[in-house]
Amino acid sequence: TDPASNLSEVLGTELGSEPRPVAGTERLWALDIDPMAAAAAYRQRVVGPYRGILPDAVVAGIEEQLSGSCTVEIAAFDQFTGLLADPGDFDHIVFDTAPTGHTLRLLALPGAWTSYLDTTEGGVTCVGPLSGLTQQRARYREALTVLADPALATLVLVTRPDPG
């Protein structure tokens, strides 16, 4: 989720939004969450089912609600929680995140959104129509459970010395 990610360069493998094997390794796979691409896919997933069913003006209103930075953050987080909820064949998942402030905000999202979804009634928000968010609510709760369990999650802060 780092907007200035150089993970592809460090690993010597061109990364995309789906896990792919890292060149020169046997069991290491990597992906790069592109927040803008995640937001576009998220918008399509949320709005798509309503196209042709609801009036165009209503669909346009939902799209407008999904056009801000809030949607970009939640879409990237949605992809992040998807990896936690379904690790597939992976033994460990390592997230290389942006600098501290961005990472702390990312880690705060599950609690903030779970609480928001629990207390907000009806309507449309930057995460989509609230009536259809039951699955996300469960996934965000699961992400909170995983991130809060020291047997399942470890946070390691890595720094580089300032050359100055």
Q: Exactly one of 2, 56, 86, 89 is catalytic; which is it?
A: 2
Nearest alpha carbon to residue 76 among 116, 133, 33: 33
Q: Which two tokens stand for residue 130?
A: 């609230």
Return phi, psi of residue 17, to 5°.
-85, -5
Q: Is 118 a catalytic residue?
A: no
Contact between 18 and 31 under an 8 Å Cβ cutoff? The reply is yes
Contact between 32 and 7 under an 8 Å Cβ cutoff? The reply is yes
36 — alpha (psi -120 to 50), left (phi > 0) or beta? alpha
Nearest alpha carbon to residue 38 among 2, 74, 64: 74
Catalytic residue set: 2
